[in-house]
């Protein structure tokens, strides 16, 4: 477990790959978030595996980052039986 209350960049550098994180970072038009699993962190960027793709985020653009719990289990489809 990563120590709490670290600044966002230090948190990402200290975090173990495989934990689920949310990272808020700057983009051209403002801010956005990446939610997924930390693949790895280098001195200059981190990679987050989201549901759709791996996102590489420059650490200089990171505003906030924290560990989040695993996603809830998916709900099963409920089929109504036809009479």
Mean pLDDT of the chain: 91
pLDDT tens digits, 8-38: 999 999 999 999 999 999 999 999 999 999 9
**Is residue 60 in some structural domain?**
yes
- The domain containing residue 34 runs over which residues? 8-67
pLDDT tens digits, 51-60: 999 999 999 9
Cα–Cα dist 32/41, whole Å: 19
**Is residue 19 in some structural domain?**
yes
Domain count, the chain: 1
Q: Tokens in use for 4?
A: 């709490």
**Is residue 41 in some structural domain?**
yes
Which residue, among 4, 36, 8, has the nearest Cα to 20 in the 3D structure? Answer: 36
Question: The whole model's pTM is what?
Answer: 0.82
């Amino acid at each position: 477990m990563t120590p709490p209350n670290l600044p966002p960049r230090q948190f990402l550098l200290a975090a173990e790959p495989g934990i689920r994180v949310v990272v808020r970072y700057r983009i051209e038009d403002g801010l956005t978030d990446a939610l997924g699993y930390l693949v790895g962190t280098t001195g200059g960027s981190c990679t987050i595996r989201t549901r759709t793709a791996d996102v590489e985020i420059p650490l200089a653009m990171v505003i906030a980052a924290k560990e989040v719990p695993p996603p809830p289990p998916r709900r099963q489809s409920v089929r109504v039986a036809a009479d």
